[in-house]
Structure 1
Amino acid sequence: MFGGGGGLNPRKMEQMMEQMGIDVEDIEAEEVIIRTDEYDLVFDNAEVTKMDARGQETYQVIGSPEQVESGAAGGAGGGAGADDDGSAIPDDDVELVATRAGVSEDEAREALEDNDGDLAAAVGDLE
């Protein structure tokens, strides 16, 4: 990030970032999935750091991903494809929206369907 032969002391770097209004948070992620049209990149045990610079969030993922077929990567509980009820909304998304908005999974699924699967819009509608 900041060049230099010996680098900066991590403590000094943290102080400088704080002075610039940048908050840094380590996230204990079990798995990170990046979905593309052609494939999924699955990071197991990745190091994830979130930086918030005056409301602009940036996530850094460090690790070695496994490339798998598009849509083949799933979270806990199975694949990310269609649910048993035929919905195209992944269970993981429903659980996330339900938790964030403090509503039932049925309400979360309905909000996701109304918003074409857009997580942020679904949570926004429910809050």
Structure 2
Amino acid sequence: MVKLLKDILSQTDKDAYKECQSWEKEQLIREIKHILTGKRYFIVIDDVWKEQDWKLVKAAFPENNNGSRIIATTRITGVAKLCCSVSDEQPYQMAPLDDADSRRLFFKRIFYSNDSCPCELEEVSARI
């Protein structure tokens, strides 16, 4: 969480980031909140796994009614519901990738190519 908060700080204020290397979570949260207070911001937090992690990250963002938005991605339903800003909102449920897109993403991640796979690994990659 400290690394994530430092990443957020580095992207919101580079000067403050230079000073924060020994800071704990609470000080990082206070600084991010201070920097963003009164400003309009759009932040994407990717792949949140735990509810307590989301609560900690959310504490760093002021609720300033300036039209700011935070988008969080997660595979955990409980975390997704917690990320909704209004209690009756529903998280957006993305459809899974189809086989062709899944294969393309897999090859890009593993082989750094969209559609090439070594011949000896084609059978194994198809099962995966």
TM bracket, shorter-chain basis: under 0.3
**Higher helix fraction (1 or 2):** 2
Rg larger in structure: 2
Determine which structure has the larger strand proportion and give its number: 1
TM norm structure 2:
0.26
Structure with more relative contact order (C-alpha pairs < 8 Å, separation 6 or more): 2
